[in-house]
């Protein structure tokens, strides 16, 4: 059974009397452990799709099932709980807490899972080491480069071992070299524990890291192919 199932998903925004069809009709299945890239130009509907998958917005029609749970039907409270237990996020602008150290940022998702302080710190430390920031654990976001901040973002997304990680333009603010490093790291993390990784991007360059490339145009999937030029896991 696929870990992600999108069925007949449609989203129409209404602004006054105007209608914008952001997603026409999306059907998509993603298997556990897959690294899937959703590729499309600006305005094609990628963020809308990701927001539906994360349960952040309600669709006009259709379902988005994660591990068999239709997140479009959950109440805010249940959704928050479901996300904390099952989903990690990596953002374009990192979304780290500015007042907190790298260690505190990475430990954050574990607080929701009732992990003790000592264990949180231990696991956050290990994660930061794994992303190459073992010597930056007390740095705050403003004291780190974009690439370093995104490594912290990746450590935070994976620390609680979510089944699924969503990454929205994760390299959008990074230069080419850092982009490649960050992508390799993120895919390596996902492969290690057979976690499912869904990357949304407009950048065809980063799709080389995925098992599969789903291309969206005007709110419709116009191609869905296994990646033949895949970079093997390190
Ligand atoms: P992408 O992420 O691929 O750039 P989006 O999903 O952000 O595309 O947008 C798809 C379409 O939906 C665009 O035409 C955009 O203008 C429109 N759209 C997105 N969000 C909203 C919103 N909150 N209200 C109205 N229209 C929106
Ligand atoms: P931007 O592309 O403007 O930098 P981000 O990549 O930071 O934006 O965020 C992308 C999307 O993730 C946004 O649509 C936002 O609503 C959503 N988002 C922001 N914070 C969270 C959160 N804590 N959990 C889930 N989704 C979030």
Phi-psi region of 202 (alpha: psi -120 to 50; beta: other; left: phi over 0): alpha
Over the stretch 103-146, which tens digit does the pLDDT of each residue have? 999 999 999 888 999 999 999 999 999 999 999 999 999 999 99
- The ligand whose atoms approach the alpha carbon of 80 most closely is 2
Q: Which atom of ligand 2 is nearest to the CA of 47?
A: 14
What is the ipTM metric for this complex?
0.70
Q: Is the CB of 56 under 6 A from ligand 2?
A: yes
Q: Which atom of ligand 1 is nearest to the CA of 216?
A: 3
Distance of alpha carbon 107 from alpha carbon 71, whole angstroms: 25
Where do the DSSP E strands lie in the chain?
4-15, 18-30, 35-39, 61-66, 69-70, 87-90, 164-168, 196-201, 212-217, 220-226
Residue 232 CA to ligand 1 center (angstroms) comes to 34
Tell me if 171 sits within 8 A of 206, measured CB to CB: yes
Average pLDDT, the chain: 95
Q: Is the CB of 89 under 6 A from ligand 2?
A: yes
Over the stretch 58-115, which tens digit does the pLDDT of each residue have? 999 999 999 999 999 999 999 999 999 999 999 999 999 999 999 999 999 999 888 9
Residue 148 pLDDT greater than 80, yes or no: yes
Helices H / strands E in the chain, number of each? 6, 10
């Amino acid at each position: 059974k696929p870990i992600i199932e999108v069925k007949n998903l449609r989203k129409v925004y209404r602004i006054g009397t105007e209608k914008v069809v952001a997603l026409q009709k999306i059907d998509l299945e993603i298997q556990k452990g897959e690294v899937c890239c959703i590729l499309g130009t600006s305005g094609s509907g990628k963020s809308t799709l990701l927001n539906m998958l994360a349960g952040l917005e309600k669709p006009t029609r259709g379902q988005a099932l994660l591990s068999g749970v239709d997140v479009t039907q959950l109440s805010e409270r249940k959704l928050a709980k479901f996300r904390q237990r099952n989903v990690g996020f990596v953002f374009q602008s990192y979304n780290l807490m500015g007042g907190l150290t790298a260690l505190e940022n990475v430990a954050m998702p574990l607080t929701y899972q009732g992990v003790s302080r000592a264990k949180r710190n231990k696991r956050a430390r290990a994660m930061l080491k794994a992303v190459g920031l073992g010597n930056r654990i007390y740095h705050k976001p403003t004291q780190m480069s974009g690439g370093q901040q995104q490594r912290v973002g990746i450590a935070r997304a994976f620390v609680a071992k979510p089944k699924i990680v969503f990454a929205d333009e994760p390299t959008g603010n990074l230069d080419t070299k850092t982009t490649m490093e960050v992508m390799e790291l993120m895919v390596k993390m996902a492969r290690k524990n057979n976690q499912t990784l869904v990357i949304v991007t407009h950048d065809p360059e980063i799709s080389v890291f995925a098992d599969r490339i789903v291309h969206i145009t005007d709110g419709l999937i116009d191609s869905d192919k296994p990646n033949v030029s895949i970079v093997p896991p390190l």
